Amino acid sequence: MRRALVTGGSGAIGGAICRRLAQCGLHVIVHGNTNAERAERVADEIRRSGGRADSIAFDVTDHEASTDALARVLEAGAIQVVVNNAGVHDDGPLAGMTFEQWRRVVDVSTHGFFNVTQPLLMPMIRSRWGRIVNLSSVVGVTGNRGQVNYAAAKAALHGAAKALALELASRGITVNVIAPGFVAGGMAETIDPAVIGATVPMKRAATTDEIAGAVAYLVSDEAAYVTGQILAIGGGLG
């Protein structure tokens, strides 16, 4: 059975991804950090539904902690699917942004991508099959006022995915990005629905299941020839 690691699996979007991948027959490792108990609840829900899942807790911004945690995971064999979903935002205009606001957002998305993905690559390469999916945002494509740090962090994932896709293409490993817009149950919960209606051509936010469905496709055998792509799920945005 192939194993999948989903960072930020304790959140609304991450949890939906975990449940969908379990339905696809993957053994899912649900990652959390400050929400370790929620990650275990997601894993328990999957197990009670007949799937296979475990939970794990570590800080993706801590290189040593990530390396140690993933070394323990790899004792049971390679991770074939990696979904880099962990992310935070700390908004404000750049003129008034603190360095800590900048660093926190970049650390989770960008350094977190390296800290999680790099230790898993050689076992994946040896198995000659793998799927890496980065969860980004349309903001990484279009930009957004008050989110220079978030846009920079997410755009970095786009470049990293395109470059890594070239490195791994001959090894049967694909690397892609999903760039959602507003997502119900995610960060869009703090946005006035009228703003979404006025901004999004389809007049609504995406559901977490719609995001999870796109992930499920990209990690499937049917998507074996899709790599280095940025898939916007924004209802017309992006």
Predicted confidence (pLDDT) per residue in 175-196, tens digit: 999 999 999 986 666 777 888 8
* Mean pLDDT lowest among 66-70, 194-198, 230-234: 194-198
The reply to whether 150 belongs to the active site is: yes
Share the mean pLDDT of the chain: 96
pLDDT classification of 138: cutoffs 50, 70, 90: very high
3 phi/psi in degrees, rounded to 5: -110, 140
Which pTM does this prediction carry? Answer: 0.95
pLDDT classification of 237: cutoffs 50, 70, 90: confident
Candidates 58, 102, 113, 150; catalytic one: 150
* CA 158/CA 196 separation, integer angstroms: 24
CB 108 within 8 A of CB 153: yes
pLDDT of residue 189: 64
* CA 20/CA 123 separation, integer angstroms: 24
Averaged pLDDT for residues 66-74: 98
Residues above pLDDT 90, as percent of the chain: 91
Structure confidence by residue, pLDDT tens digits, 92-127: 999 999 999 999 999 999 999 999 999 999 999 999
Please return the burial class of 205, using the count of CB atoms within 10 Å of its CB with bins 0-12, 13-18 and 19+.
buried
User: What strands, in cross-sheet order, belong to the sheet with 81-84?
Assistant: 52-57, 27-32, 3-6, 81-84, 130-135, 173-180, 230-233
- 3.30.420.310, 3.40.50.720, 3.30.1370.140, 3.40.50.300: which CATH number matches 3-233? 3.40.50.720
pLDDT of residue 35: 86
